[in-house]
Structure 1
Amino acid sequence: MTEQLGIVLADDNYLVREGTRRLLEESDAVRVLAAVGSATDLLDAVRRTRPDAVLTDIRMPSPGRDTDSGRAMEGIDAAHAIRASAPRVGVVILSQYADEAYAFELFRNGTAGLAYLLKDRVGDLRQLLAALREVTSGGSVVDPQVVDALVARRARLRESPLARLSPRELDVLREMAQGHGNARIAQRLSVSESSVEKYINAIFGKLGLSSEQQVHRRVAAVLTFLRDGSPRPE
């Protein structure tokens, strides 16, 4: 008989949390060592119980992060913290978002011991248990729908005018997207302000933003970057 996995379960919805706990425990393949409702309690439970794996919702409550994207990032941040402090503990993230941006953020430091599944996979107990065992062994699992989104994004980026920019021009555009002026960009990138102006003019040219256009070229460049360039949700 396969040895039971000890897991910590986290979901801010009590009914979902308890329903998932019962589903897992009735499989006889899992011992739920703790079931918690916040990222803070999740990290504490991992320290106390030393589980084999964690199963957590992507959306977790946290002071000062009331938006959906902020709460989603809280679950991912908790996964990173767990992998950093306890690398033998696998983490399965459950999300209602088939969004490649969240997957990029989860896997930004590597894929080992991490899984990203859509939340409706909870109903497929065999798949859920397989994901828990996979991350426990250091493997990785990505939901097929998220893979489709990642492939679509790769194709979109290949067609984006951002592909024409050099790495330094992308750095400048990234700083522009954060609202920095030329002087601040020069300071942050350790280049001269005249160099920044040259990079910006090159960016406008490569993005096809001519001086005759009515739309403000700086705004248009930033909109292109926000649409195609940054995988991290803001």
Structure 2
Amino acid sequence: MRVVLAEDSVLLREGLVRLLGSAGIEVVASVADADGLLRAVDEHEPDLVVTDVRMPPSHTDEGLRAALVLRSQRPALAILVLSQYVEERYATRLLSTATGGIGYLLKDRVADVEEFLDAVRRIAAGGTALDPEVVAQLLLRGRSDPLDRLTRREYEVLSLIAEGRSNTGIAEALVVSESAVGKHINNIFAKLDLSGADKDHRRVLAVLRFLKV
């Protein structure tokens, strides 16, 4: 896996380079601003971009805007956005661009090395990884009608899918069997009218419906 990293904090940027490198993930370029990010992606054509939301010069949404440009130019490019705080409008804009290869995590999650690396690999493989706090904030906007068809347990399962958990992880979190999780997921797909799609693709589409994107 080849990664381009954009982060204006020197300490965090170098820490991420070392962390990813120790896991066998090649960081082909690390930059400090959005312009550098766009140039590095053009030059190196990475598999994954990891970028901060706020970068110079205004420290508002430069990283996010660069990510949106890259996504429009390269729909297959996986993107992981890191943010200091939950910023709902940025998460929504990013999630609305595609059905996979997208992640939005709070920077605090980097401290949990295994969880962070798992998210990186999942996103690069075309999956999603959303911070639980981001999911919680997006849910404050209310539930759409199709979601009202779900039982409480199905809703819990879908919430954990939105966090990027596997069936095994969901089973462990809810203290149920994996077969029970599979049945809940199939019910969710049916109730959200996603029964005809590819299984992995349906998971992502279900998450987008869940977040009302």
Answer whether TM exceeds 0.5 for this pair.
yes
The residue correspondences of 1:180-195 to structure 2 (distance < 5 A) are: none
Per-residue CA distance 1:29-63 (angstroms, 9 max, x = gap): x011000000000011011111110111111214x
Match of 1:115 among 103, 118, 123: 103
What's the counterpart of residue 129 of structure 1?
117
**Structure 1 regions of 5+ residues with no counterpart?**
159-234
Match of 2:27 among 16, 32, 42: 32
Instruction: Tell me, yes or no, if structure 1 residue 44 matches structure 2 residue 46.
Output: no
Q: 1:143 Cα shift? A: 0.6
Q: Partner letter of residue 15 of structure 1?
A: L
What's the counterpart of residue 90 of structure 2?
102
Q: 1:96 Cα shift? A: 1.1
**Structure 2 regions of 5+ residues with no counterpart?**
146-213
Q: Partner letter of residue 46 of structure 1?
A: V
**CA distance in 2: counterparts of 1:83 and 1:133, whole angstroms:** 18
Q: TM-score, normalised by structure 2?
A: 0.63
**What's the RMSD between the two structures over aligned residues?**
2.0
What's the counterpart of residue 49 of structure 2?
54
What's the counterpart of residue 183 of structure 2?
none
Decide whether the 8 Å contact of 1:90 with 1:132 is kept in 2.
Answer: no
Count of matched residue pairs? 145
Q: 1:86 Cα shift? A: 2.0
**% identity of equivalent residues:** 43
Decide whether the 8 Å contact of 1:100 with 1:153 is kept in 2.
Answer: no
What's the counterpart of residue 69 of structure 2?
81
Q: 1:111 Cα shift? A: 4.0
**CA distance in 2: counterparts of 1:19 and 1:39, whole angstroms:** 19
Q: Partner letter of residue 2 of structure 2?
A: G
SS in 2 for 1:33: strand
